[in-house]
Structure 1
């Protein structure tokens, strides 16, 4: 008899059980050598260890923390270096006093960029939600992290995972504190906006460009308005003229033609930095994470 595939909740439960078992025999502050201002660490997940990048403020802490989820391109560049967007945000948030953990959902499973892949094996609403739960649990097991002050942030596909992870029907299966708040940069909102069961259980801020032709703002606008009518705290910020990847430190405006799904259906989309939107988003993220 063939066993049924694991459900969303069973993935998370299996993940947390494995983390608890692994942590029982490990120092809570185990880490790899410093490299470029961050540490390379490994944390247990449901299907094996996850490689991750850890940024940490100076001092003993304890500190609030952020779990940050990469987009479809992954965490590292082809040369093995941490991508510029992730290093920029990691350093920036650490300077603001946050421990920042970035799990590598693709590289840990020996996968490269998934931007052009239509049949994903590591999905935004399943495996990556489990990875986010694993990252939260691992952080909350550290003495230098405030367990009740862990937020969730993601870009593009990682932003889609943020929206899936904060649904009321995806509450943590463990007894640890939940994420406190969430931020999604240019997520794909269509799946969640089309779902009758989407309800946000914690405050979320969505940041998008109105010129984004990869993950357009329309479905996110529909989702945010419907959520606010139900009394949920879902804020949407749409930047005029901004494209996908608008918060990148320095990405020349260009067309990408290696995309599995785009708003136009052509597999093409424009990306690039929008300095004004980037500056405003940085300010908003800092304010939002502080709960003000």
Structure 2
């Protein structure tokens, strides 16, 4: 039974600033073996220091949880405030990962992005230390490049295989899909617009067309007449960024929110 179907009175800890580390990059078996042969002492792998914002429902739990990943523009209000409040009202603990502040990144839409898959799994490890979280029921959810990280972090033969803990489900808003992402390791929901030329829906269709028979189910919802960032009210007036239109679509937003709620209820 899912705990996230009855609205709560509000979070006990809204946007509590927390500190944790991204999952460390593990040394390869070859590197470990060579070190032993040469009697070399290897340094303990360290993760990147990160900030996060933690919100949770009233009560002791344990509750299912959602890790949120922002896009290349960094923390926007709908990711930092609106989505956590919504998810908490459904009964989920929420940890929004800030991948930029500790790296001194302001905006990565025109520059190199760090490998944020390790950020996501560091957040999962952090939640595992909380008695009010049911660590067996945690979803990863991302927006734009955060959505792309969500898909990369839950694909077969990806970095997920290096991690001790696993996510239970994945939700990706307007990610950049690729057929090479292959099968998913967990049930996945992708939501995007047919007019999004930043994260083209056709690429997501191609990924689904190339799936094998052994992966977890992937659901794809494409909204007609809809652009990038369609769930974010701060783009109500529309905005052109690097030649791409970003615009809120209330109808698509409402439909997608309902789909996310049903998806999480079914898989968490």
Scaled by the length of structure 2, the TM-score of the pair is 0.81
Residue 140 of structure 1 and its aligned partner are, at CA, apart by 1.4
Deviating 4+ runs (over 6 angstroms)? none
Counterpart-to-counterpart distance in 1, 2:133 and 2:265:
15
| 2:19 maps to which of 42, 51, 61 | 42
Gapped regions of structure 1 (runs ≥ 5): 1-32, 77-82, 260-267
Tell me: CA distance 1:250–1:97, structure 2 relative to 1, closer, same or farther (3 Å). same
Aligned pair 1:282/2:266, yes or no? Answer: no
Tell me: CA distance 1:134–1:85, structure 2 relative to 1, closer, same or farther (3 Å). closer
**Which residue is 2:3 aligned to?**
none
**Which residue is 1:291 aligned to?**
266
**Which residue is 1:167 aligned to?**
155
* Residues 240-277 of structure 1: CA deviation (Å, up to 9, x unaligned): 001100001342243424x3xxxxxxxx0111110110
Gapped regions of structure 2 (runs ≥ 5): 1-11, 25-46
**How does 1:30-179 map onto structure 2 within 5 Å?**
37-45=14-22, 46=24, 47-76=47-76, 83-117=77-111, 120-122=112-114, 127-169=115-157, 170-176=159-165, 178-179=166-167
Contact between 1:88 and 1:249, CA under 8 Å: does it hold in 2? no
Residue 121 of structure 1 and its aligned partner are, at CA, apart by 4.5
Aligned length: 232
SS of 2:266 mapped into structure 1:
coil
SS of 2:67 mapped into structure 1:
strand
Counterpart-to-counterpart distance in 1, 2:212 and 2:228:
25
Residue 55 of structure 1 and its aligned partner are, at CA, apart by 1.2
Contact between 1:188 and 1:216, CA under 8 Å: does it hold in 2? yes
**How does 1:224-235 map onto structure 2 within 5 Å?**
224-227=208-211, 232-235=216-219
**Which residue is 1:203 aligned to?**
187
Scaled by the length of structure 1, the TM-score of the pair is 0.75
Tell me: CA distance 1:54–1:168, structure 2 relative to 1, closer, same or farther (3 Å). same
Contact between 1:227 and 1:234, CA under 8 Å: does it hold in 2? no
Root-mean-square deviation (Å): 1.9
* Residues 189-212 of structure 1: CA deviation (Å, up to 9, x unaligned): 1xx32x2x6221111010000011
Tell me: CA distance 1:98–1:172, structure 2 relative to 1, closer, same or farther (3 Å). farther
